């Protein structure tokens, strides 16, 4: 049963459903469904001494959907084309600067801390959505597993601290708020942006796609 691909698939979906239930019950950003699911799966595999290879037979099925999920970002941009036309310059410049800051800061700190090349390549795309980050990491010699961990941590921190940072820096315009959140904390941050306001969430969703494009360019440049 363990070696059946459906086993890993079922465990993943079941753990995520538990995460959603906990999130709905407590209604706190810290109780992120994805983070909860990861913790539950790790505990389950450890307790029952199940190898990652056996689990990943089903987990790889979910990985197949990363490509379509990336392409679906175009649909999000299309649906918000009215806002995109109206605020194109702000979105373009904001996501460009945000992506450059994200990739550039990692590259500089990596050099200062003498981080090895594979690890550094894995961290460069940390601020974009998982499918794009994995593709970038793989193309420049990174470690996809490290990239996924960095993306999740970045997204969680963004969703936790975005409201506080918006208040500290007195950012009032919804476009600025949405672009800032989407450019630095991708889908996890966008889920929080939606809670802050419809327009903020829309701008954050648009920014995910633009940030992915810019990060591809900057990551290859710094690499």
Q: Using alpha carbons, list the distances in angstroms from residue 188 to 32, 130, 144, 192.
A: 9, 10, 18, 7
**Same-domain status, 127 and 166:** yes
Tally the domains of the chain. 2
- pLDDT tens per residue across span 20-41: 999 889 877 778 888 899 899 9
Q: What is the mean pLDDT of each run of 10 residues along the chain (223 residues)?
A: 81 92 84 87 93 81 74 76 90 95 94 93 92 89 90 88 91 92 88 85 90 92 82
pLDDT of residue 7: 87
CA angle, residues 197, 74, 184, in degrees to nearest 5: 50
Neighbours of 135 (CB within 10 A): 19
Residues 160 and 50 in one domain: no
Co-location of 101 and 197 in the same domain: yes
- Does residue 118 form part of some domain? yes
Q: Is the dihedral of CA 37, 40, 43, 45 positive or negative?
A: negative
Q: Output DSSP code: residue 31.
A: S
Q: How many residues does the chain have?
A: 223
Residue 13 lies inside a defined structural domain of this protein: yes
Q: Are residues 88 and 55 in the same domain?
A: no
CB 206 within 8 A of CB 129: no
Query: Could you tell me if 43 and 145 lie in one domain?
Result: no
* Distance in angstroms (rounded) separating the CA atoms of residues 103 and 116: 16
In a domain, residue 27? The reply is yes
Same domain? 52 vs 109? no
Residue 190 placed within a domain: yes
User: Which domain, by its residues, includes 48?
Assistant: 5-64
- In this predicted structure, what is the pLDDT of residue 41? 93
| Alpha-carbon distance values, 182 to 15, 77, 147, 151 (Å) | 26, 13, 18, 13
Q: Which helix (H) or strand (E) holds 22?
A: helix 5-26
Do 88 and 140 sit in the same domain of this protein?
Answer: yes
Do 153 and 215 share a domain, yes or no?
Answer: yes
For residue 134, give the nearest of 46, 27, 215, 14 by alpha carbon: 215
């Amino acid at each position: 049963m363990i070696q059946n691909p459906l086993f890993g698939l079922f465990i993943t979906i079941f753990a995520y459903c538990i995460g959603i239930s906990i999130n709905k019950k407590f209604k706190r950003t810290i109780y992120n469904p994805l983070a909860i699911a990861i913790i539950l799966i790790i505990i389950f595999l450890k307790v029952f001494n199940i190898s990652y290879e056996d689990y990943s037979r089903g987990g790889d099925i979910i990985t197949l959907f990363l490509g379509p999920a990336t392409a679906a970002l175009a649909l999000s941009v299309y649906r918000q084309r009215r806002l995109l036309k109206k605020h194109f310059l702000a979105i373009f410049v904001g996501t460009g600067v945000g992506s450059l800051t994200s990739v550039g800061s990692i590259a500089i700190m990596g050099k200062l801390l003498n981080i090895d090349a594979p690890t550094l390549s894995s961290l460069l795309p940390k601020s974009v959505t998982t499918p794009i980050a994995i593709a970038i990491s793989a193309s420049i010699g990174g470690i996809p597993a490290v990239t996924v961990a960095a993306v999740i941590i970045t997204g969680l921190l963004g969703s936790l601290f975005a409201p506080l940072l918006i208040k500290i820096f007195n950012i009032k315009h919804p476009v600025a708020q949405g672009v800032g959140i989407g450019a630095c904390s991708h889908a996890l941050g966008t889920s929080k942006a939606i809670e802050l306001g419809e327009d903020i969430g829309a701008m954050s969703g648009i920014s995910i796609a633009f940030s992915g494009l810019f990060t591809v360019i900057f990551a290859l440049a710094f690499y």
